[in-house]
């Protein structure tokens, strides 16, 4: 093995230029090839800035709850308020409570949280055996 010799045909290390390439000032409509031809620091900065902008947009955006939210609560809880006959999570009153809780997490509306607590208390009472209350 020691008697074999293969010449190194690879070029020497080439230092990247300190100034950014002209491709660094790209518009948002640039091609992927042009974007990936940027030097690593410039590309990493662009990806970091894009990620931070997306994170800020997601943090600032609070979607309005659709009117469907109110309609679901009206149909599943307001009409049969005193008795929670079906207290299952996916098809019953607890599903409505979960919807209200998620709505509270998004909007911070205390009325949604109060209605959610009322539904959970009614489901708890309905699910308890008759002699254990």
Residue 25's φ and ψ, nearest 5 degrees, are: -95, 60
Q: How many domains does the chain have?
A: 1
| Residue 9 included in any domain | no
Q: Residue 26 in contact with residue 34, Cβ under 8 Å?
A: yes
Nearest partner of 80 among 119, 113, 130, judged by Cα: 119
Can you give the pLDDT of all 133 residues of the chain as single tens digits? Answer: 567 778 878 778 777 766 655 544 555 555 788 888 889 999 899 999 999 888 888 777 766 656 666 777 777 777 666 566 676 776 678 888 888 898 888 888 888 899 899 888 888 888 777 655 5
User: HSE (CB half, 13 Å, CA atoms) of 117?
Assistant: 6
Would you state the pLDDT for residue 117? 92
Length of the chain: 133
- 97 inside domain: yes
In a domain, 16, yes or no: no
Using only C-alpha atoms, the chain has a radius of gyration, in whole angstroms, of 30
pLDDT of residue 18: 66
In a domain, 121, yes or no: yes
Whether 116 maps to a domain, the answer reads yes
Domain that holds residue 89: 31-60+68-127
The pLDDT value recorded for residue 34 is 83
């Amino acid at each position: 093995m020691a008697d074999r010799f293969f010449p190194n045909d690879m070029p020497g290390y080439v230092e990247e230029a300190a100034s950014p390439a002209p491709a660094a000032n790209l518009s948002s409509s640039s091609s992927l090839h042009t974007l990936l031809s940027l030097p690593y620091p410039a590309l990493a900065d662009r990806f970091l800035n894009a990620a931070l902008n997306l994170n800020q947009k997601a943090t600032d955006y609070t979607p309005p709850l659709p009117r469907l939210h109110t309609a679901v609560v009206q149909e599943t809880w307001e009409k049969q308020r005193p008795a929670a006959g079906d207290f299952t999570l996916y098809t019953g009153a607890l599903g409505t409570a979960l919807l209200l809780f998620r709505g509270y997490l998004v909007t911070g509306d205390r009325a949604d949280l109060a209605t959610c607590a009322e539904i959970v208390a009614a489901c708890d009472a309905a699910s308890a055996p008759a002699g254990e209350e």
